[in-house]
Structure 1
Amino acid sequence: MPEQKSKLLESLEQDGFVLIPSLLSQAEIDSLRIEAKKTVDLARSGSWPYVRTLPKQFPPWNIGEGESPAKDGIWGVQSLMNPKLATSSSFIKIYFSDKMLGVVKELLQCEDEYLVMELFNLLIRPDRDFELRWHRDDIPSSATAEEELARLAEPAWHAQWNMALYDDSSLIVVPKSHKRARTAAERDMSEYETGVQGEIRVEMKAGDVVFYDNNILHRGKYESGKERATLHGSVGHRNGKGLRARNVLQHGLREWVSDIDLSVLNEEEKKRAEGMRKRLLGMAEESGEVGYSLDG
């Protein structure tokens, strides 16, 4: 008999996203804000090489030799669990916490031994106003309707989320678009079209978390005058290795994932995290070179 789906999973499958209010306590928000500020200050100073540079939207964010990574402005900080980042322990703790992984297991309908470590990054106030075009994370805009439908018919095999440390309404989605090919109007619209039929802004308060299908039709609108620190992560399911490899490995985890310091976790969390990392490394070994999902 198939496992009964939770209300959260039903909402995610129906709409392509689900908002969980106040998942973080005020104490967790306050603590993570402090660590996020240290991280952002380091990145804006040009002292952290793993950043999302303006105006580039998608990986790779390559830095020229001898250049400051932040010289043209940034809108995100990558590799939060990299052991070379002084604040990594705080991000490791929340990523591998029962609180987060409990929701992930509910949405993936699995237990610990199926979880795969994936991404954890920080989306921040850009140095100038910046927008992401309409896109699906792992399906190029050049895809035909048939190609879109074939990819969308595959199981997601991951849970992806935004965790707001400040109020955040940057994410704009078209609900239910994760189940269908783009309409003729959506194919013909401009990359930054406003007022798209059915679009909504996801209104998040500090401490809220939104889980969403990364192939929902979505974009982002980021204001340089509004504080933003939103943790952006994903966890995979081991059955999705082939489908998830490019989407995850294009972010450059191979270089440092073996060195993550899991000693900051309790014994039970550490054991689970070690298994998740092992499955990520296995996926990387099997996949070889994966390229990039999107251009731009």
Structure 2
Amino acid sequence: MATDTTTTTTTTTTTGSPSLLERLNRDGFVLIPKAVSGDTFARLRDAATAATSMAREGRWRDVRTLPKQFPPWNTSGPNPTADGIWGVQGVMHPDMPGRDEFVHMYFSDAIIEPTLELLQCERDDLVLELFNMLIRPTKDFELRWHRDDIPATATAEEELERLGKPAFSAQWNFALFDDSSLVIVPGSHRRARTDAERAAGPFEKTLPGQLVVQMHPGDIVFYNNNILHRGVYDSKVERMTLHGSAGHLNGASLRARNVLQHGLRDWIDRLSFDALDEQQRALAEHMRSNLIKMAGDASDVGYSLSG
């Protein structure tokens, strides 16, 4: 068992600050406090609450089912929520009530501006990716230590080969309630796993140097999805955390599997951007066209991880 070195972070930065990218490159994550507030936040939480209730009642079938960590989730049976759920997929889906609030959030300055800085790109380079929601499970649930697009069976050489490539995506969590579910090992996005990390059990309670990311309502954390991380979900504490990503056009071949395994190509052509203003709508349409091109170029992409 590793020595207990758990700490909690309240790291802050300023949106648009030159240090945003530097902190992400150094630590593998960066927290932006109170990125969304006021009426915008209230509307988002109302929409999220309605979507969560609908999913828990079995009226939204695209969910993350317990006890499975990775897609595909067990949603084909007559009652996919029977064993409980821990996530709501496709919050921008054209059939999702309240989707306009989620669409506004995804293409808002609070998301797009940090994404442009972290990916060091122009708006034309952006690809529409994922937007889901992670919620309180009906029973305590933990994710095992993982990197999103590198299997645990990878050798050190294989890890370094993938980690040596640009991330080509900006992934984020946006908290609608207090959230201390994300546990990371800062800096692990720049190196292969240590001997201690390889020897640790998949649900090891503590790893050397690990850090619990403490979020408050309205906070956003951006993080490298190949940082070593896990989730710890308490069934007694309400949780609704929006979970999304945007990609870079140059990373389409690397990102295709990680994105398309979530089923976007089944409905992305029906997604409406009518609620956006003219400038946002132009960006949204362009990002969608980049995603559709990526989907068209990709064959059977399969799944990034299993379990």
TM-score (norm 1): 0.97
- 1:21 equivalent in structure 2: 33
Cα offset, 1:93, TM superposition? 0.7
Output the CA distance in 2 between the equivalents of 1:120 and 1:158: 13
User: Which residue identity is paired with 2:57?
Assistant: S
Instruction: Kindly indicate whether the alpha-carbon contact (under 8 Å) linking 1:26 and 1:207 is maintained by their aligned counterparts in 2.
Output: no
Cα offset, 1:141, TM superposition? 0.2
- 2:211 equivalent in structure 1: 200
Instruction: Kindly indicate whether the alpha-carbon contact (under 8 Å) linking 1:177 and 1:217 is maintained by their aligned counterparts in 2.
Output: yes
1:62 aligns with 2:74: yes
Instruction: Kindly indicate whether the alpha-carbon contact (under 8 Å) linking 2:140 and 2:234 is maintained by their aligned counterparts in 1.
Output: yes
The match for 1:257 among 248, 252, 268 is: 268
Q: How does 1:59-138 map to 2 (within 5 A)?
A: 59-65=71-77, 67-138=78-149
- 1:10 equivalent in structure 2: 22
Unaligned runs of 5+ in 2: 1-16
Output the CA distance in 2 between the equivalents of 1:132 and 1:222: 8
Number of matched residues? 292
Cα offset, 1:106, TM superposition? 1.1
Cα offset, 1:233, TM superposition? 0.2
Instruction: Kindly indicate whether the alpha-carbon contact (under 8 Å) linking 2:63 and 2:75 is maintained by their aligned counterparts in 1.
Output: no
Cα offset, 1:72, TM superposition? 0.9
Output the CA distance in 2 between the equivalents of 1:183 and 1:222: 26
Cα offset, 1:195, TM superposition? 2.1
1:189 aligns with 2:205: no
Output the CA distance in 2 between the equivalents of 1:273 and 1:69: 32
User: Which residue identity is paired with 1:18?
Assistant: V
Instruction: Kindly indicate whether the alpha-carbon contact (under 8 Å) linking 2:133 and 2:242 is maintained by their aligned counterparts in 1.
Output: yes
Cα offset, 1:30, TM superposition? 1.6
User: Which residue identity is paired with 1:112?
Assistant: R
The match for 2:61 among 49, 60, 69 is: 49
The match for 1:281 among 270, 292, 296 is: 292
Superposed CA offset, 1:16-75 (max 9, x none) = 00000110113222211111110001001111111000000001113234x122111000
* Secondary structure at the counterpart of residue 172 of structure 1: strand
Superposed CA offset, 1:66-92 (max 9, x none) = x12211100000001110111211101
Instruction: Kindly indicate whether the alpha-carbon contact (under 8 Å) linking 1:48 and 1:69 is maintained by their aligned counterparts in 2.
Output: no
Cα offset, 1:100, TM superposition? 1.3
User: Which residue identity is paired with 2:222?
Assistant: F
Instruction: Kindly indicate whether the alpha-carbon contact (under 8 Å) linking 2:47 and 2:97 is maintained by their aligned counterparts in 1.
Output: no
Task: Give the CA RMSD over aligned residues.
Answer: 1.2
Unaligned runs of 5+ in 1: none
Q: Percent identity?
A: 56
Output the CA distance in 1 between the equivalents of 2:123 and 2:293: 16
Output the CA distance in 2 between the equivalents of 1:26 and 1:175: 32
1:170 aligns with 2:170: no
* Secondary structure at the counterpart of residue 202 of structure 2: coil
Output the CA distance in 1 between the equivalents of 2:45 and 2:148: 27
